[in-house]
Chain A
Amino acid sequence: MIYENSETILAVQGLRASISGTEILKGIDLTVKSGEIHAIMGLNGSGKSTFAKVLAGHSAYEVTGGSVQFEGRNLLELPPEERARAGLFLAFQYPIEIPGVANTQFLRLAYNTVQTQRGKEELDPLEFDDFVREKMKLLEMKPDFLDRSVNEGFSGGEKKRNEILQMALLEPKLSILDETDSGLDIDALKIVAHGVNQITNKNNATILVTHYQRLLDYIVPDFVHVMQAGRIVMTGGKELALKLETHGYDWVNANKHSIAGVIA
């Protein structure tokens, strides 16, 4: 939701990034304020997932220009773990499987690492168990989820729910959900969306990276940005997503010059 005079959480200006010498992001501008939900839409290869990974600090990408301020700090200077501790969270499109590590161990390790950095108390296994079970109810997850290895043998829906569970535990300032809707049936999508809606509030912000409008029926964005060839070419309100759904991305090409930049 848009609030008046809310603080700026993320300020991206002219961001450029390459992988193996190929430029993917070609000058991105984006401002995200506390309380807001932004959707970044675009076709495969438009650079939207790269944008998400660059913000989270993936070492395969080289930032070649521009700046990113996160709550007033230079985000690009921080290694990925510092970004996470500062309150940036990326829900992965393809969450990694870690056989041999129980989900509960992993979740507690991540939670305690971030808590310690924020000057808060760590939770011992019993305390954490109570805490995490409460959060799991939000996502309608079965208790055996905790004892299984991290994401190993999880269905697509279970992996995505596990990502949102981590988001719920780590209480980030800014969450970036990279194609969280992909591979989910409608029931799973509703559960995940419900979980995200419970977590968002006026003190945090969310960026939804998605290909399809479907997710936005359940998590209603304040802004919709269309990405193409490494740039944001159009920005609008939630109705823009519906237009895209009806007219397709070709429509963007015909209209981008007339509408682009209206709100941004």
Chain B
Amino acid sequence: MSEMASNDYLECLLKSWSTKPTESLSWLNQLRAQAIDRVGAQKLPTKRDEEWRFTDITPLTRLPYQPSQPKCHLQAHDIEHLYLNEAKNRLVFVDGHYSPQLSKIIDHSALVIGNLPAFSSTHASILESHLGQYTQFNHNVFAALNTAFLRDGALILIPKNIAIAEPIHLLFIATQNEVTSYPRCLLIGETGSNVTVVEDYVALQKATYITNSVTEISLAANAHAKHIRIQRESTQAFHLANCAVSLAHASNYQSVSISLGSQISRYNLDVRLTDEAAECVVDGLTLISDRQLADTHTCIDHLKPNGTSHQQHKCIVTDAAHAVFNGKIIVRPHAQRTNSSQSSRNLLLSKTAQVDTKPQLEIFADDVKCSHGATVGQLDQEEIFYLESRGLSEVAARNLLTYAFGAEIISRIPVTSLRQQLEQAVLNQTQSNQS
């Protein structure tokens, strides 16, 4: 891909920004203006960029899709099957635009939840101090684009010492063909709060579109958050996502991200343990087939002592699909007594399936406990034999082992109905691949 093409692409996208947002908040407009500047100063990444060497996004550059327009024809019965029984609060965005009709907000009193613009005057200073402060768009053209087009978005603020028992469902539904949507989420957990958020990207039909999302999560001291991210876009879609997490003293972040959909997907997750004794558990599962490409880049950055991070990422790849995992762990010079583990396990179910996995440890402190490991392989013959010796056929044994490989990650999702949906998805995929 030539650089000209890439700049044309970005310019073309930026022109569509002429439909100016209505709010008159100067700081927000400034943020957007900075982002636009940064889009102008950057190029689209190519395989020559180290961070993109396994993921060729050339097909994307042929699609200068305009931002989606808010035109939602969905009725509740169209999407009810996507609802989670356990979730009391649900925000629904259709092609990136907030749909108050499809959303359901119950806990007005306990927490702050809703569409970003609704809080621009009542919570201006909080928004200003968090929005755009964690996802760096200076060197990330997709985050810059998202910020340039920032308008609707999910805002969740859990006040001090409030625990929300039921999960909050953020449902992003794609309906339009050949558009780009720019979902945005901001989760702020104040001191001692606790919440579970499900960030869920779905498509109702096989459409070609681009999702460019940014999620920012800030946890204050002793705050806990469980973040479940499900990417089940159309298999013709492009999904480019950035998530940045900032952890204060002794806060606790647990995430499970599942990638099932998209023709090409890229998920960047950056977790910064900015103060002592912060903890994170970052798990992921990629399950892809046909010619799908799914790229997960994570960076867990230990800046202060006594932090803990545990990461397990798994990929199940069939047909001619291609999975990428790049997991960077940084332990800064003062981050003594950091305890970090990382495991990348990959299952290739066909001769043409491909995995590139790259654990990257950068350790600058001397008193740390860090372990990492990566495996790529087929199903283990001894495991198959064990199951056969208990009466299971070879096909049943392979299915069970493949299912189990994925189910280990899915089992960590603390929302029963979602777990069941995903277990079924894995079962369907494993059975269709091997029947």
A114 within 8 A of B: yes
Count A-B pairs with CB separation below 8 Å: 73
B405 within 8 A of A: yes
- Kindly list chain B residues whose C-beta atoms are within 8 Å of the C-beta of A56: 385, 389
Contact A109-B400, Cβ < 8 Å, known A58-B385, A96-B383, A100-B405: yes
Q: Is the CB of B392 within 8 A of A113?
A: yes
From B380, B381, B390, B404, A100 is in contact (CB under 8 Å) with: B404
Q: Is the CB of B386 within 8 A of A92?
A: yes
Q: Is the CB of A60 within 8 A of B394?
A: no
Q: Is the CB of B403 within 8 A of A80?
A: no
Q: Max chain A CB contacts within 10 Å: which of B383, B389, B396, B397?
A: B389
- Kindly list chain A residues whose C-beta atoms are within 8 Å of the C-beta of B408: 99-100, 149
Q: How far is the CA of A54 from the CA of B85 in the complex (A)?
A: 51
- Kindly list chain A residues whose C-beta atoms are within 8 Å of the C-beta of B407: 100-101
Question: In the complex, what's the smallest C-beta–C-beta distance from B258 to chain A, in angstroms?
Answer: 14
Contact A96-B382, Cβ < 8 Å, known A101-B400, A101-B407, A109-B400: yes
B319 within 8 A of A: no
Complex: chain B residue closest to A115, CB-CB: B391
From A60, A84, A106, A109, B389 is in contact (CB under 8 Å) with: A84
Q: How far is the CA of A242 from the CA of B381 in the complex (A)?
A: 38
Residues of B380-435 contacting chain A, CB below 8 A = 380-383, 385-394, 396-397, 400-401, 403-408, 411
- Per-residue B-contact encoding for A92-129, CB less than 8 Å = 1, 0 else: 10011011110000100110011001000000000000
Contact A170-B390, Cβ < 8 Å, known A59-B381, A100-B407: yes
Contact A84-B390, Cβ < 8 Å, known A99-B408, A100-B408, A100-B411: yes
Question: In the complex, what's the smallest C-beta–C-beta distance from B419 to chain A, in angstroms?
Answer: 12
Q: Is the CB of B386 within 8 A of A96?
A: yes
Q: How far is the CA of A79 from the CA of B393 in the complex (A)?
A: 9
Question: In the complex, what's the smallest C-beta–C-beta distance from B406 to chain A, in angstroms?
Answer: 7
Q: How far is the CA of A140 from the CA of B385 in the complex (A)?
A: 28
- Kindly list chain A residues whose C-beta atoms are within 8 Å of the C-beta of B404: 98-101, 149
Question: In the complex, what's the smallest C-beta–C-beta distance from B373 to chain A, in angstroms?
Answer: 15
Complex: chain A residue closest to B397, CB-CB: A81
Question: In the complex, what's the smallest C-beta–C-beta distance from B414 to chain A, in angstroms?
Answer: 16
Q: Is the CB of A79 within 8 A of B388?
A: yes
Number of interface residues of A (CB under 8 A): 29
Question: In the complex, what's the smallest C-beta–C-beta distance from A258 to chain B, in angstroms?
Answer: 38
Using C-beta atoms within 8 Å of the partner chain, give the interface range for chain B.
20 to 34
Q: Is the CB of B386 within 8 A of A84?
A: no
A75 within 8 A of B: no
Q: Max chain B CB contacts within 10 Å: which of A57, A81, A92, A99?
A: A81
A238 within 8 A of B: no
Question: In the complex, what's the smallest C-beta–C-beta distance from A221 to chain B, in angstroms?
Answer: 23
- Kindly list chain A residues whose C-beta atoms are within 8 Å of the C-beta of B392: 81, 109-110, 113
- Per-residue A-contact encoding for B257-272, CB less than 8 Å = 1, 0 else: 0000000000000000
- Kindly list chain A residues whose C-beta atoms are within 8 Å of the C-beta of B381: 59-60
Q: How far is the CA of A38 from the CA of B383 in the complex (A)?
A: 27
A228 within 8 A of B: no
- Per-residue B-contact encoding for A67-100, CB less than 8 Å = 1, 0 else: 0000000000001110111000110100110111
Q: Max chain A CB contacts within 10 Å: which of B381, B382, B385?
A: B385
Complex: chain B residue closest to A98, CB-CB: B404
- Kindly list chain B residues whose C-beta atoms are within 8 Å of the C-beta of A90: 389
Question: In the complex, what's the smallest C-beta–C-beta distance from A169 to chain B, in angstroms?
Answer: 10
- Kindly list chain A residues whose C-beta atoms are within 8 Å of the C-beta of B390: 84, 106, 110, 113-114, 166, 170
From A100, A114, A117, B403 is in contact (CB under 8 Å) with: A100
Question: In the complex, what's the smallest C-beta–C-beta distance from A264 to chain B, in angstroms?
Answer: 27
Q: How far is the CA of A81 from the CA of B396 in the complex (A)?
A: 10
Q: Max chain B CB contacts within 10 Å: which of A85, A100, A117, A170?
A: A100
Question: In the complex, what's the smallest C-beta–C-beta distance from B431 to chain A, in angstroms?
Answer: 15
- Kindly list chain B residues whose C-beta atoms are within 8 Å of the C-beta of A89: 389
Q: Is the CB of B391 within 8 A of A85?
A: yes
Question: In the complex, what's the smallest C-beta–C-beta distance from B430 to chain A, in angstroms?
Answer: 12
- Kindly list chain B residues whose C-beta atoms are within 8 Å of the C-beta of A98: 383, 400-401, 404
Q: Is the CB of A81 within 8 A of B383?
A: no
From A59, A60, A84, A149, B391 is in contact (CB under 8 Å) with: A84
Question: In the complex, what's the smallest C-beta–C-beta distance from A151 to chain B, in angstroms?
Answer: 9
- Per-residue B-contact encoding for A200-238, CB less than 8 Å = 1, 0 else: 000000000000000000000000000000000000000
From A80, A100, A114, B388 is in contact (CB under 8 Å) with: A80
Q: How far is the CA of A79 from the CA of B406 in the complex (A)?
A: 27
Q: How far is the CA of A59 from the CA of B384 in the complex (A)?
A: 10
Q: How far is the CA of A191 from the CA of B397 in the complex (A)?
A: 30
Complex: chain B residue closest to A84, CB-CB: B391
- Kindly list chain A residues whose C-beta atoms are within 8 Å of the C-beta of B388: 57, 79-81, 84
Q: How far is the CA of A89 from the CA of B386 in the complex (A)?
A: 11
Q: Is the CB of A81 within 8 A of B393?
A: yes
Q: How far is the CA of A60 from the CA of B384 in the complex (A)?
A: 12
Q: How far is the CA of A6 from the CA of B394 in the complex (A)?
A: 34
17 more CB-based (< 8 A) A-B contacts, given A56-B389, A59-B381: A56-B385, A57-B389, A58-B385, A60-B381, A80-B385, A81-B391, A85-B391, A98-B383, A98-B400, A100-B406, A100-B411, A109-B392, A110-B390, A110-B392, A113-B396, A114-B391, A149-B404
Would you list 10 pairs from A and B whose C-beta atoms are within 8 A, ordered by A residue? A57-B385, A57-B389, A59-B385, A81-B391, A84-B389, A100-B404, A101-B400, A110-B387, A110-B391, A113-B390
What 3 pairs between A and B have smallest CB-CB spacing? Answer: A100-B404, A100-B408, A100-B407
Interface residues of A (CB under 8 A from B): 56-60, 79-81, 83-85, 89-90, 92, 95-96, 98-101, 106, 109-110, 113-114, 117, 149, 166, 170
